[in-house]
Amino acid sequence: MTWVRDDRADWQILDVTGRDPADSTSARHWVQDRIAAFGEEHRIDALLVAGELLENAYQHAGGPAQVRLRLRHAPCEITVAVADTGSGVPRLRIPDDGGGRGLVLVDRICSSWGVSHHDDGKLVWARVGCEGTGFPCPAPGDGRS
Ligand SMILES: [Zn+2]
């Protein structure tokens, strides 16, 4: 894909091929494995956000093409991005019977999020921090568990 312009080396990338929402389980596990060193609260938030971005891609864009992760420790920050080949613009929507708190939830949890469009689709990204939540992660290597 052509949407990587900045610091590509910072990102871990998972290619997703399936179009079945059940496939999101393995994508979620991939994220979970990579953020294992973060604090529990931070991991929970990041996984919630990853799940919502994935669900959004399956429901509205024919499924995700890639999941990307960027991990930072100072400040402590997990950026999750889901690329798809759809052209629609994700919108904040009111939760309804169709399920999915969707981007309302993402908006509440994330310090920032956004969408970038590219020739071959779009990338929805969300930055999840933990400073100021009351549950900051232990610094890497400080021995607390
Ligand atoms: Zn953290």
When pLDDT is averaged across residues 1-16 and rounded to a whole number, the result is 70
Q: How many angstroms is it from 72 CA to the middle of ligand 1?
A: 9
When pLDDT is averaged across residues 33-58 and rounded to a whole number, the result is 93
Which one, of 104, 125, 133, 100, lies nearest residue 50 by Cα?
Answer: 125
Q: How many CA atoms lie within 13 A of 71 on its CB side?
A: 16
Q: Residue 27 maps to which CATH number?
A: 3.30.565.10
Q: How many angstroms is it from 109 CA to the middle of ligand 1?
A: 13
Q: How many angstroms is it from 81 CA to the middle of ligand 1?
A: 17
Is residue 106 one of the residues assigned to a domain? Answer: yes
Q: How many angstroms is it from 132 CA to the middle of ligand 1?
A: 10
Q: How many angstroms is it from 127 CA to the middle of ligand 1?
A: 11
CB within 5 A of ion ligand 1: which residues? 42, 76, 130, 137
Give pLDDT, residue 42. 95
Q: How many angstroms is it from 32 CA to the middle of ligand 1?
A: 14
At residue 142, does pLDDT exceed 80?
A: no
Number of helices (H) and strands (E), helices first, in the chain? 3, 5
Q: How many angstroms is it from 134 CA to the middle of ligand 1?
A: 10
Which one, of 1, 14, 127, lies nearest residue 68 by Cα?
Answer: 14
At residue 145, does pLDDT exceed 50?
A: no
Q: How many angstroms is it from 145 CA to the middle of ligand 1?
A: 13
Give the global pTM. Answer: 0.82
User: Which residue range(s) make up the domain with 81?
Assistant: 12-129
> How many domains, in total, are found in the chain?
1
Name the 3-class secondary structure at 93.
coil
Q: How many angstroms is it from 137 CA to the middle of ligand 1?
A: 4
Residues in the chain: 145
At residue 4, does pLDDT exceed 60?
A: no
pLDDT above 70 as % of the chain? 79
- Computed over every residue of the chain, the mean pLDDT equals 82
At residue 40, does pLDDT exceed 90?
A: yes
Give pLDDT, residue 2. 40
Give pLDDT, residue 64. 92
Is residue 3 one of the residues assigned to a domain? Answer: no
State pLDDT tens for residues 63-95.
Answer: 899 999 999 988 899 999 999 987 666 655 555
Give pLDDT, residue 62. 83
